[in-house]
Amino acid sequence: MSIHCCDYQAPMGPIIAAAEDDAIIGLWFDGQKYFPTGTERWVRAPSHPALVQLRAWLDGYFRGESHAFPGRISPKGTAFRQNVWQALRRIPYGSTTTYGAIARELAARRGIASISAQAVGGAVGHNPISLVIPCHRVVGVKGALTGYAGGIEKKEAILRLEGICRASA
């Protein structure tokens, strides 16, 4: 299986997108933390159907018109990370939550006393599909803009786009 990729110019900087089969597997800001290795083997394919759909969605998203991505995604990660990323997808457009709130939600779903907010933060930080899986909507206690692999300035710009105006903390 080949990984297909393309570039996208977002208002806050260049993005690279990746697809495998008919699913998006990655969306990263240029230079962000946890960028995958082995990208030199990826096939540049801007006409790949999943990437065409993603770019159309991104165009609408950055115009404030698109909220939930309609296509198929397939992020690669552990079961714990998958659970965190599913929780991120439940955060409504224009809203935020905290790492602690996600930890409490996941603990309740699993029927256990607690899950570490730091462990949730690690999974949030390793989200491979930025924007589509809205890790930018997770903030620290008291609304602090912390922990965005793409950079705090991008997180703030994305939250402003979604109608949440905050100053960096």
Domains of the chain, with CATH numbers? 3-62 (3.30.160.70), 79-161 (1.10.10.10)
Catalytic option among 5, 6, 135, 165: 135
Task: Tell me if residue 6 is catalytic.
Answer: no
Q: Where are the alpha helices (DSSP H) in the chain?
A: 49-62, 79-89, 99-110, 117-125, 152-161
Q: What is the pLDDT of residues 84-133, one digit of tens each?
A: 999 999 999 999 999 999 999 999 999 999 999 999 999 999 999 999 99
Quick one: what percent of the chain has pLDDT higher than 70? 97
pLDDT at 42 over 90: yes
Q: What is the pLDDT of residues 45-61, one digit of tens each?
A: 999 999 999 999 999 99
Query: CB burial class (10 A; 0-12, 13-18, 19+) of residue 25?
Result: buried
What's the rounded mean pLDDT across residues 70-90? 97
Confidence of residue 159 (pLDDT cuts 50, 70, 90): very high
**DSSP 8-class letter at 42:** S
Q: Which helix (H) or strand (E) holds 14?
A: strand 13-20
For residue 142, the model assigns a pLDDT of 83
Q: Which of 32-41, 118-127, 143-152, 159-168 has the highest mean pLDDT?
A: 118-127
- d(CA 127, CA 137) in angstroms, rounded, equals 12
- d(CA 142, CA 15) in angstroms, rounded, equals 30
Bridging pattern class, strands 3-10 and 43-44:
parallel
